[in-house]
Amino acid sequence: MEINDKRAMILSGSLPKILITMALPLMFNNFVQMLYSLADTYWVGNYLGTSELAAIILVFPVLYFTLSLGMGVNIAGTALISRFSGAGSPAQATKVAGQLLTFALLMAVAISLMGTLAAPWVLRMMGAQGAVYVYALQYVQIMLWELPALFAFFVFNAIRQGQGDTYTPMVLNVSGVLLNIVLDPIAILFLGWGIRGVAAATVFSRTLFAVYAVYSLFRQGNGIRLRGKDLKMDSGILTQIVRIGLPASTGQSFSAFGFIILNAFVIGYGEGTLAAFGIGNRISMVIIMPVMGIGTALATLVGQNLGAGQPERARRAVRTAALGSITIMSLGGIILFLAADLVVGAFIKNDPEVLKQSLDYTRLITLTLPLMAIFQILLGTFQGSGHTLYAMMMDMGRLWVFRIPLILLLGRWTSLGSHGVWYAMVISNALICFMGWLMYRSGKWQQPVIRHN
């Protein structure tokens, strides 16, 4: 489907149809991305060991923290390009695309350098010791160099998504993930590279397809074709990128840092508990991923319809997306609860205690899956409208206002042990969804924040 046809569908077509059309590639992309994460967990957990598995779970929020800085560029790009596309301003959208690419690459290289130098101190601060520290350091210092490729792909994704094209980014991302899945066992079993090989496979796969994605921006049309002059810094456009992207990056970064603190609490109960925490989260993410796809598609619908002066249609898109997402998460939660023994047992076979803790956590987290549907839809609404301050408040509030204080409270005043962490996650998800609903009901997210000149 051509970009102009997609724009017409977004602005006047059937909302369920366009949501499904745009969300399906994103759902598939997210599913394959999660499949890689589960495959990673499978190979490391079964062929390397518990220490190596605990190491990659420990550093996940560190990597997520660095990624979150680039996510602000992605969110700002999607909001700006969807608004300009909805308003029929392709020249302005092209200028934004060029600025995004330059800004993202410079930022990625700087973060990779600083992260590599700071990694030993950060891991010690998180409580990593012994073998877990050694493996975590080996893994993270290689993984940090996937950031230039990831940030470049964020820009490509924002450009195509803002235009309504979710298929092309999906094809490239899935290709990279599948290559990564193939390379993991080769690196572990045949080359004997251990955890370093897992990281190297990821960096190579990401970089290969990111280079092609950037190349295509200079060669293909679809309304945006970059030229060298588009990469030259423009203070006006950069100001808008920072103004919209900074709250998003801040929210994501504080959320990621909160997970670093959260992991530090969890590892205090032992590396087995940390492994159980990671396994439960990765399994539940398989169900959450489709709803994340709907939320991402919704951001484009909201942005383009607000850009075209159609706030009522934007509101109807939110209601349609919310109904579908809650249904998916409710059904998925029921299935996961009933099949928890089978699913969790596939990832940990040789440690009965880790298996028991993983089952307890996985069953408990299924209760909050419908709430996570609401959370993702509200994030998509606020990000697509350009009101990223609201999204930042949800990201930060979930961890820093509710979850971490609850963990401290339950850990100090109860004898729940690691289960206090699990209960804190359930309660914090409920509270943040109520707060987000109040912000949505205020209607302020419909007010314009993006300048067209």
What distance in Å separates the CA atoms of residue 438 and residue 429, rounded to the nearest whole number?
A: 15
Residue 309 located in a structural domain: yes
Residue 453 located in a structural domain: no
Q: What parts of the chain have a pLDDT lower than 50?
A: none
Q: Which two tokens stand for residue 261?
A: 């603190």
CA distance to 42, 81, 147, 179, per residue, from 65 (Å): 24, 25, 11, 25
What distance in Å separates the CA atoms of residue 447 and residue 445, rounded to the nearest whole number?
A: 6
* The predicted structure's pLDDT at residue 267: 77
Residue 452 located in a structural domain: no
Q: Which two tokens stand for residue 15?
A: 């909302």
The alpha helices in 224-270, defined as continuous H runs, are: 235-267
What distance in Å separates the CA atoms of residue 23 and residue 295, rounded to the nearest whole number?
A: 8
* The predicted structure's pLDDT at residue 450: 58
CB 209, CB 153: distance < 8 Å: yes
Residue 367 located in a structural domain: yes
Number of domains in the chain: 1
Tell me which residue range forms the domain holding 344. 3-446
CB 126, CB 58: distance < 8 Å: yes
Q: Residue 223, CB half-sphere, CA atoms under 13 Å: how many? A: 25
Closest CA to 216 of 297, 151, 155: 155
Residue 140 located in a structural domain: yes
* The predicted structure's pLDDT at residue 239: 80
Expressed in percent and rounded to 5, the helix, strand and coil fractions of the chain are: 85, 0, 15
Q: Which two tokens stand for residue 382?
A: 């606020």
How confident is the model over 275-318, as pLDDT tens digits? 888 888 888 888 888 899 899 889 889 988 988 889 999 999 99
Q: Which two tokens stand for residue 412?
A: 């100090």
* The predicted structure's pLDDT at residue 192: 87
What distance in Å separates the CA atoms of residue 97 and residue 227, rounded to the nearest whole number?
A: 10
* The predicted structure's pLDDT at residue 86: 65
Q: State the average pLDDT for the chain.
A: 84
Residue 179 located in a structural domain: yes
* The predicted structure's pLDDT at residue 2: 57
* The predicted structure's pLDDT at residue 165: 80
Residue 143 located in a structural domain: yes
Largest CA distance in the chain: 63
Residue 451 located in a structural domain: no
